[in-house]
């Protein structure tokens, strides 16, 4: 009986979707964080940092539970390592959001007026990537029911294909923003430039890891 339970245990796909949703709750804090940064509202930044830390911890617990409840002999429509790789990519997204929140707490830095709109546009582009990933991830439960084939699978593949282009757009925006930062070097001290670049790099990593998570989903589908 124990062997049968291990072979036909609880499906990991519902918890995977719940983990993806929890990670996206972390991502949802990027908008209020960047707005608080622009408005020099350091008290709100601290509160949001605490919230992100709590959400990231909850996502970690979900991740560990999924791994602990996934027997090695369990029959799955996808490889076990692909589930683990998807978890790792999602985990890195949450980690990057927490890193972003931490960075904003380290220094009371004013944002240059000429950078505000570009930073806001960059954040919105990151959401184009992460929200597309979330829609695709939520479909995991439905894909299991149709054995990862059919119209549902085609729809998810289309979403994933769009991820690459949206992440590429984010990269282009990051480069333009970086160029704009250095064009203001006569007005900015070196530490402020480094601070802006750390923010830019960390936010860009959110989009990169979201694209990587999409690539793992693609591997699940093509097999």
The pLDDT tens digits for 106-162 are 999 999 999 999 999 999 999 999 999 988 888 777 666 555 556 777 777 888 888
Tell me which residue of 30, 152, 23 sits closest to 87, measured CA to CA: 23
Average pLDDT, the chain: 87
Number of folded domains that form the chain: 1
Dist. CA 208–CA 89, nearest whole Å = 9
Question: Average pLDDT for residues 166-191, to the nearest whole number?
Answer: 95
Concatenating the DSSP letter of every residue in 2-40 gives HHHHHHT---SHHHHHHHHHHHHHHHTTHHHHHHHHHTT
- pLDDT beyond 50 at 7: no
The pLDDT assigned to 144 comes to 63
State pLDDT tens for residues 28-74.
999 999 999 999 999 999 999 999 999 999 999 999 998 887 755 45
Cβ-proximal residues to 217 (8 Å cutoff; 6+ apart), any chain: 86, 136, 137, 140, 156, 160
The pLDDT assigned to 10 comes to 58
pLDDT classification of 3: cutoffs 50, 70, 90: very low
Dist. CA 53–CA 157, nearest whole Å = 32
Three-state DSSP at 147 gives coil
From first CA to last CA, the distance across the chain in angstroms is: 30
The pLDDT assigned to 34 comes to 97
The pLDDT assigned to 107 comes to 93
- HSE-CB at 147 with a 13 A cutoff on CA atoms is 0
- pLDDT beyond 50 at 1: no
The pLDDT assigned to 204 comes to 96
What residue spans of the chain are helical by DSSP H? 2-7, 13-27, 30-38, 42-68, 80-106, 116-138, 140-145, 151-183, 190-222
Dist. CA 74–CA 136, nearest whole Å = 24
Structural domain boundaries, residue 145: 2-222
pTM listed for this prediction = 0.89
Of the ranges 33-47, 80-94, 161-175, the best mean pLDDT one: 33-47
The pLDDT assigned to 77 comes to 64
Domain containing residue 59: CATH number: 1.20.58.220
């Amino acid at each position: 009986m124990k062997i049968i339970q291990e072979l036909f245990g609880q499906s990991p796909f519902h918890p995977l979707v719940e983990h993806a949703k929890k990670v996206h709750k972390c991502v949802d804090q990027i908008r209020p964080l960047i707005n608080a940064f622009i408005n020099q509202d350091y008290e709100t930044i601290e509160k949001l940092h605490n919230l992100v830390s709590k959400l990231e911890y909850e996502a970690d617990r979900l991740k560990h539970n999924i791994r602990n409840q996934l027997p090695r002999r369990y029959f799955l429509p996808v490889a076990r390592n692909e589930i683990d790789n998807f978890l790792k990519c999602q985990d890195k997204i949450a980690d990057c959001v927490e890193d972003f929140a931490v960075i904003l707490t380290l220094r009371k830095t004013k944002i240059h007026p000429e950078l505000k709109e570009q930073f806001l546009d960059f954040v919105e582009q990151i959401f184009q990537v992460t929200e597309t990933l979330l829609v695709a991830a939520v479909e995991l439960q439905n894909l299991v029911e149709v054995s990862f084939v059919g119209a549902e699978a085609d729809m998810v593949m289309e979403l994933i294909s769009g991820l690459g282009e949206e992440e590429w757009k984010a990269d282009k925006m990051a480069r333009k923003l970086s160029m704009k930062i250095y064009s203001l070097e006569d007005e900015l001290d070196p530490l402020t430039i480094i601070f802006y670049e750390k923010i830019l790099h960390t936010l860009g990593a959110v989009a990169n890891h979201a694209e990587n998570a999409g690539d793992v989903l693609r591997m699940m589908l093509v097999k």
